[in-house]
């Protein structure tokens, strides 16, 4: 212990706990949320996309991507690639060299904590591609997008890059994670193409209760998502956790009320969307706004993304792009709403508690912060439009891998793609038609059973 006088065991314990909570948001959180919210024939494929991405990001992260996001500056927007694999690397004090930030826990803890953020970003993107992306193309997309898009955004805002130097506030990833994933999801969905027309028309969840389990893990796990970013078991961590839950609750209530007023019924799927929008919107400023600010952000998160999803989303060009789970609205729109709100609602005391030199937002007399937040959002939009397009084009035209599944796979689903079925207790064409997996009159060739019950 004489060589680790910098180590604070309390901070280390909280950081590992916070990182594990964020990890649980992905596995099993989004794994089961995706499995439950899609049609039965896509349950395994959707869950597997998230499961695969979590593992793939981990290996890329320790071999080169962590240092690109948080290492020594190499280019204006990114750090020097390199591995974090030796025992000396893992045991040394956590330091982010380009930003001058250090923490009282080891580099291994920092690497893991930042990994779970990178992993969930890619998994959120998958929500836009469910129900038609070629799984092999997805396997290639994950490391490429992580390397050429995520690391640039993370370095620019967190690792000591130009946006951090300018003073843009992104407390825990409203821009790095949510605006990035929402934009990349929307752009990538355009390149991939749509689901089958039948799937777009009838895409009822196969298990709403399983979806709610995933949503609950996502909500509670966000305590680590936002509470872990002070890199200490500090007072600001407590403020971030409280504000996260206040804003999320307010957003869920607001969304539900709008559903009742407009559609006449409260919908649990709508409530989940309101929950996610609230979690996303509070993320850019969880520890720098006060409780009143969190309430305001919650109202905005339950209103503006609702309008974006339910009204604007029915207009062109949104109808041209098949964003399966409306990731753009729940993450990109909500992330920008929260990011701009921070420019107004950030408190001087909250910024100081987080270690920021910013003198608060507009309510503290610093109107410049609103402009800085807008610049940050525009950069992340531009970065992800460019990089996601380049990655998709590389996969399609250089690697010659189709981005979209073939028609037979699209018709059959999991059984054709993976040779597995989520619910094997009953496998008949009648059940497929009943659940809207295939239109009436079409043959489910994976099971070898015709609609009349006879084997092919």
Whose tokens are 């309510």? That residue is: 363
Reported as a single tens digit per residue, the pLDDT across 321-333 is 999 999 999 999 9
Q: What percent of the chain has pLDDT over 90?
A: 85
In 3-state terms, what secondary structure has residue 442?
coil
Query: What confidence tens digit (pLDDT) does each residue in 54-73 have?
Result: 999 999 999 999 999 999 99
- Predicted model pTM: 0.91
Q: Rounded distance, CA 141 to CA 347, Å?
A: 39
| pLDDT attached to residue 449 | 36
End-to-end Cα distance, the chain: 70
Model pLDDT for residues 383-396, shown as the tens digit of each residue = 999 999 999 999 99
Q: Cα–Cα distances in Å, from 450 out to 77, 277, 426, 427?
A: 56, 43, 14, 11
Res 423: pLDDT = 82
**pLDDT > 80? residue 445:** no
Q: Looking at the predicted structure, is the pLDDT value of residue 439 above 90?
A: no
**Which parts of 331-428 fold into alpha helices (H)?**
334-345, 348-353, 368-393, 407-412, 414-418
Q: Which residues have a Cβ under 8 Å from the Cβ of 449 and sit 6 or more positions away?
A: 427, 428, 429, 455, 456
| Mean local confidence (pLDDT), 301-308 | 97
* Per-residue pLDDT band at 421 (split at 50, 70, 90): confident
To the nearest whole number, what is the mean pLDDT of the chain?
92
Which of these, 102, 59, 48, lies nearest to 84 by C-alpha position?
59
| Closest by Cα among 226, 218, 23, 13 to 115 | 23
Query: In the predicted model, what is the mean pLDDT of residues 34-52?
Result: 96
pLDDT at 202: 85
Query: Which whole number is the average pLDDT over 10-26?
Result: 97
What does DSSP assign to residue 320?
Answer: G
pLDDT at 1: 44
Tokens 């929500």 map to which residue? Answer: 127
| Cα 139 to Cα 7: distance, rounded to the nearest angstrom | 38
* CA-to-CA dists, residue 89 to 48, 74, 139, angstroms: 32, 19, 28
pLDDT of residue 441: 52
Predicted confidence at residue 456, as pLDDT, reads: 36
Nearest alpha-carbon partner for 222 in 275, 184, 269 = 275
Quick: pLDDT tens for 398-407: 999 999 999 9
DSSP codes, 48-69: HHHHHHHHHHHHHIIIIIHHHH
Query: 3-class SS at 99?
Result: coil
pLDDT of residue 431: 55
């Amino acid at each position: 212990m004489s060589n680790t006088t910098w180590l604070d065991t309390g901070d280390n314990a909280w950081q590992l706990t916070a990182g594990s909570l964020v990890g649980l948001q992905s596995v099993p959180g989004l794994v089961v949320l995706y499995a439950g919210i899609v049609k039965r024939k896509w349950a395994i494929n959707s869950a597997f996309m998230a499961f695969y991405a979590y593992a793939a990001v981990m290996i890329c992260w320790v071999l080169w991507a962590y240092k690109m996001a948080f290492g020594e500056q190499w280019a204006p927007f990114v750090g020097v690639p390199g591995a974090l694999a030796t025992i000396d690397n893992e045991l040394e004090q956590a330091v982010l060299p380009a930003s001058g930030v250090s923490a009282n826990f080891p580099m291994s803890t920092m690497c893991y904590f930042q990994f779970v953020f990178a992993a969930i970003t890619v998994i959120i993107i998958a929500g836009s591609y469910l129900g038609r992306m070629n799984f092999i193309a997805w396997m290639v997309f994950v490391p490429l997008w992580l390397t050429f898009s995520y690391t640039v955004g993370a370095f620019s805002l967190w690792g000591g890059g130009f946006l951090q130097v300018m003073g843009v506030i992104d407390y825990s990833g409203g821009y790095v994670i949510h605006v990035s994933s929402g934009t990349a999801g929307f752009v990538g969905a355009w390149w991939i193409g749509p689901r089958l027309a039948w799937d777009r028309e009838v895409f009822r969840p196969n298990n709403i209760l399983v979806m709610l389990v995933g949503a609950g893990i996502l909500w509670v796990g966000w305590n680590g998502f936002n509470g872990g970013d002070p890199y200490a078991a500090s007072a600001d961590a407590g403020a971030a956790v409280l504000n996260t839950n206040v804003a999320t609750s307010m957003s869920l209530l607001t969304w539900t009320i709008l559903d009742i007023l407009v559609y006449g019924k409260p919908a649990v799927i709508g409530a989940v969307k309101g929950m996610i929008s609230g979690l996303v919107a509070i993320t850019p400023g969880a520890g720098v706004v006060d409780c009143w600010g969190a309430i305001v952000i919650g109202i905005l998160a339950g209103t503006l993304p609702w309008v974006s999803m339910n009204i604007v989303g029915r207009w062109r060009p949104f109808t041209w792009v098949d964003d399966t789970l409306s990731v753009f609205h729940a993450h990109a729109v909500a992330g920008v709403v929260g990011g701009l709100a921070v420019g107004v609602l950030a408190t001087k005391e909250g910024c100081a508690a987080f270690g920021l030199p910013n003198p608060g937002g507009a309510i503290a007399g610093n109107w410049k912060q609103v402009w800085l937040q807008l610049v940050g959002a525009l950069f992340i939009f531009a970065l992800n439009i460019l990089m996601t397009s380049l990655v998709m084009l590389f996969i399609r035209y250089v690697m010659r891998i189709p981005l979209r599944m073939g028609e037979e796979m699209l018709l059959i689903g999991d059984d054709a793609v993976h040779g597995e079925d989520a619910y094997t207790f009953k496998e008949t064409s009648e059940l497929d038609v009943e659940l809207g997996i295939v239109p009436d009159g079409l043959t489910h060739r994976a099971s070898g059973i015709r609609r009349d019950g006879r084997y092919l």
